Amino acid sequence: MISLRAAGFDQAQVQLVYDLAAERVVPVIAGMAAEYEKKMAQGRLEAHFGGAERFAAIARQVKGWGERHCSRRSPPRPTASRRCIT
């Protein structure tokens, strides 16, 4: 593998290449890693719950329960009796 310096890049050009890679390539790799982790977690859940169809049915039930029981409102403000004492 040839180095950037051996290819005739000066220090500023080498730094620019590394900066561009950090700006453009690293987020793509991070996104790919997150997608991989998501698929792995999905596979583990499907295996745990007895297959893709069964997990999908259970996931729908859990989602429905959450929508019915977990409001989207802000959490209640602490009262004087629940405030932290500093």
- For the cut 70, the answer to whether the pLDDT of residue 81 exceeds it is no
Are the C-beta atoms of residues 26 and 34 closer than 8 Å to each other?
A: no
**pLDDT the model gives residue 84:** 55
| pTM value surpassing 0.75 | no
Enumerate residues 6+ apart whose C-beta is below 8 A from 47: none
**Number of domains making up the chain:** 1
Residue type for position 3 = S
- Contact predicate 63/73, CB 8 Å: no
- Answer whether residue 79 shows pLDDT above 70: no
Residue 34: inside a domain = yes
What is the Cα–Cα distance from 83 to 77, expressed in whole angstroms? 9
Name the residue range of residue 41's domain. Answer: 11-69
* Tens-digit pLDDT profile for residues 32-75: 999 999 999 999 999 999 999 999 999 999 999 999 988 776 66
Q: Is 17 helix (H, G, I), strand (E, B) or coil?
A: helix
